[in-house]
Amino acid sequence: MARDRTQIMTDALQNPPVIAADIDAAARVLAPYAIRTPLLSSPALDERLGAKVFFKPEVLQRTGSFKFRGAFNKLSSIPQAARDGGVVAFSSGNHAQGVAAAARILGMRATIVMPADAPVSKRERTKGYGAEVVLYDRDREDREAIAREIAGKRGATVVPPYDDPKIIAGQGTVGREIAEDLAAMSISPDIVVAPASGGGLIAGIATAVKARFPQAAVMCAEPKGFDDHARSLRAGHREAHDANGRTICDALMALIPGEITFAINGRLLSQGVVASDAEVGTAMAFAFRELKLAVEPGGAVALAALLAGRIDVRGKTIAIVLSGGNVDADLFAKLID
């Protein structure tokens, strides 16, 4: 039986899966390896919205997305004696690259189970980091089962994309940096928004931001139809989306929030917002023209929700996470035209 939101909140308050101290520890692990991405702004957009908007461009992060943070923090926690078996992950691309790059730095073997329809650029870059890529049919096969079978045969460690405290803590360093940089400018955020698939990024961000700015509203952004977090927040328990097709936001197609991530997000998030594929394309074009950034569809969904007016920001300070920039050149050109 699904637990209601009250029970989730009670459990999370008594024994939170990830706390600010975990994110502080992850920041120390990541300091020599991850890029501390800046906060950017657009005076033209501020004037247009009557707000102060900051962008956290994880497109500039190692491997082109925030995923390197969680992957490196997780792999670094694997005991030396268990590293010979390597790691196995399942991902449509960004987690794949993050795990592959982290494994390469740490001298570990990496195998990544990827959907056959993942963007070619993500598959090739994953191979480029030295990982073995195993393709599967996302409509007919279970990627997690494939990964666990490989791990069982090799004695490898499975590295999940989001539902793991070390992964969440690593992703939380995004929120920690946002909070630190705004505090250094004597600015308190009213709203922080980031994309969500399984919920690891937004769970880590919410934990870090709320620790420093408890009054801030933290929201997740999802593609229209793939709104399992928004549904779950309204229902008070984990609830799957009912989308049957595809979205250009290939990185944000998880069916249901993670158990660990929702134990955090059910308590800390204020709401979920959505954006259509067309609105995501408009946001990508805006980021390219105004911020000079190439943002992938999934990475632009929070910006898309902002530009589409789904968030009341007038007179407020808001931070938007641009979570990744790994997009095929031909798709990017088509979407920003």
Tell me the CATH number at 84. Answer: 3.40.50.1100
Answer yes or no: do 302 and 233 share one domain: yes
Q: By residue range, what is the domain housing residue 126? A: 67-159
**What pLDDT is attached to residue 13?**
55
Together in a domain, 145 and 25: no
Give the end of a domain, one of 159, 192, 212: 159
Query: Do residues 174 and 74 both lie within one domain?
Result: no
Position 120 scores a pLDDT of 82
> Is residue 115 domain-shared with residue 253, that is, in the same domain?
no
Residue 5 has what pLDDT?
46
pLDDT in tens, 220-279: 999 999 999 999 999 999 999 998 888 999 889 999 999 999 999 999 999 999 999 999
* Prediction pTM value: 0.93
Report how many domains make up the chain. 2
* Domain match, 33 and 103 both: no
Average predicted confidence (pLDDT) for the chain: 94
* Separation of alpha carbons 317 and 179, rounded Å: 12
Over the chain (337 residues), the average pLDDT of each successive run of 10 is 49 80 98 98 97 98 97 97 95 91 97 89 90 93 94 96 97 98 98 98 98 98 97 96 90 94 98 98 97 97 98 98 94 91
Note whether 113 and 10 are same-domain residues. Answer: no
**Does 195 lie in the same domain as 151?**
no
pLDDT confidence of residue 11: 57
Q: Domain boundary residue among 110, 141, 159?
A: 159
Whether residues 231 and 320 fall in one domain: yes
Write down the pLDDT at residue 7: 55
Q: Using the 3D structure, point to which of 159, 188, 214 is the last residue of a domain.
A: 159
